[in-house]
Amino acid sequence: MPHNIHWYTLIRLDGPPEENDKSMPGAKSPEEALFYFERDFPFHLELCTNDDGTAVFLLEKRLRSCGASQPGELVESFSVCGKEKA
């Protein structure tokens, strides 16, 4: 039986996705994935509701079989806002 892991993908909502999408396998939570992705940005990433349209990214959580080359089934998605680092 294949082992499944959570695979997080951060997708920029504006701009060419090929240049801006980032992925991380094995994160235990969306917050852990965002902490990992922050190293590539000059701002802090945090989950938000996007009620006011301020989301800059979409974070997708997928279930993926170990060794699979394609993203797996979408489990959940989150809106992500960028905030100035203190």
Rounded Cα–Cα distance for residues 8 and 10 (Å): 7
Rounded Cα–Cα distance for residues 20 and 16 (Å): 7
So where are the chain's domains?
A: 4-84
pLDDT in tens, 25-82: 788 899 999 999 998 888 899 999 888 788 989 999 988 766 655 667 888 999 999 8
pTM, rounded to two decimals: 0.80
